[in-house]
Amino acid sequence: MTRPDRRDAGQIRALHCVLGQLSRADGSAQFAAGDSSVLCGVYGPVDVRVYDEKLDRAHIEVKLRPATGLPNTKDKWTESVIRSTFEREILCHLHPRTLVQINVQVRQDDGAVEAAAINAATLALVDAGIPLRTMVAAATCAVLPGGAIVVDPTLEEAAGAQSVHTFAFGGDTAGGPLHVDSRGDFAMDEYNACYDICATTAERVLAFMRSAVEGKIAKEALLVGAS
């Protein structure tokens, strides 16, 4: 089977990430898979509005802005997905009565943007030094009309697919997914196959993110050592 961009069914697009680009945010990361690219800036823990203040934990706020046009319902949905995924993984109880704000800007949407947004948010939170239970990695795969399963679909592939599945996992994929989003028509065995594929893909993405963070810290350590 050939895909429009000549990838194998199980092959993800080239990953690229840059950490700490933004000067004003406490932590930031740009995560790109092929042409899908997301920038995330995190502030936290910072002062919280009285209305949102929680006595025993930090309040998490997510703002997502699409590449073109105003935020629509789907963008609001993605916002809530990111919030509910990270609400459990950020150690909120360590920073009561504060706010952790996650700003996500989609630079370009070429499929699997929800997964890219979750990955960018993880990297930005790590860059900001917000205590996390685990690093979260997400992956998407699509079931095409013939029954073939392709990982990391482009916008074109996702539009023609029978069903699209996004899973987010913590550091240990055996512990089950942190987030599942399945859309379209699918059978249980298709779902199970997608689950397995996304779990292995998420592990690979996580290894990539980990090496990016390690690279940045090693570079900073060199700078500190030199001065």
Partner 1 sequence: MVAEIGPSNVEAAFLLESLAKGIRVDGRGIYDYRRLKISCGPTHGMVEVHLRQTRVLARVSCEVTRPLPDRPTEGIVQFSAELSSMAAPGLESKTAQEVAITRMVERVIRQSRAVDTEALCILAGEKVWLVRLDIHFLDHGGNLIDAASIAAIAALKHFRRPDVTVDGEEAIIHDVRERNPVPLSIHHTPICVSFGFFGGELIVLDTNLLEEQTQVSNFTVTLNAHRELCALNKAGGIPLNPKQIQRCIQIALAKVDEINEKIQEALKACAA
CB nearer to partner 1: pick between 112 and 197: 112
The one among 67, 132, 180, 199 contacting partner 1 by CB under 8 A: 67
For the window 104-133, what string marks contact with partner 1 as x by the rule CB under 8 A? -x-xx-------------------------
Task: Please list every residue from 167 through 186 that binds partner 1, using CB under 8 A.
Answer: none
The token pair at 12 is: 């993800």
CB nearer to partner 1: pick between 6 and 24: 24
CB nearer to partner 1: pick between 21 and 192: 21
Work out whether 221 is an interface residue with partner 1 (CB under 8 A): no
The one among 68, 72, 73, 227 contacting partner 1 by CB under 8 A: 68
Q: Using CA atoms, how far apart are residues 80 and 181, in angstroms rounded to an integer?
A: 12
Task: Please list every residue from 4 through 63 that binds partner 1, using CB under 8 A.
Answer: 21-25, 35, 39, 41, 43, 46-47, 49, 63
**Size of residue set near partner 1 by CB under 8 A:** 24
- Spatial CA neighbour of 32 closest among 150, 141, 86, 113: 113
CB nearer to partner 1: pick between 30 and 173: 30
Segment lying near partner 1 (by CB under 8 A), choices 64-72, 113-121, 126-134, 180-188? 64-72
Task: Please list every residue from 81 through 100 that binds partner 1, using CB under 8 A.
Answer: 99
How is the chain classified by DSSP, letter by letter? Answer: ---TT---TTPPPPEEEEES--SSSSEEEEEEETTEEEEEEEEEEE---GGG--SSS-EEEEEEE-SSSS--HHHHHHHHHHHHHHHHHB-GGGSTT-EEEEEEEEEE-SS-HHHHHHHHHHHHHHHHT--BSS--EEEEEEE-TTS-EEES--HHHHHH-SEEEEEEE-S-GGG-EEEEEEEE---HHHHHHHHHHHHHHHHHHHHHHHHHHHHHHHHHHHHHHH-
For the window 131-170, what string marks contact with partner 1 as x by the rule CB under 8 A? ----------------------------------------
The token pair at 111 is: 């499929």
Binding site for partner 1 (CB under 8 A): 21-25, 35, 39, 41, 43, 46-47, 49, 63, 65, 67-70, 99, 101, 103, 105, 107-108
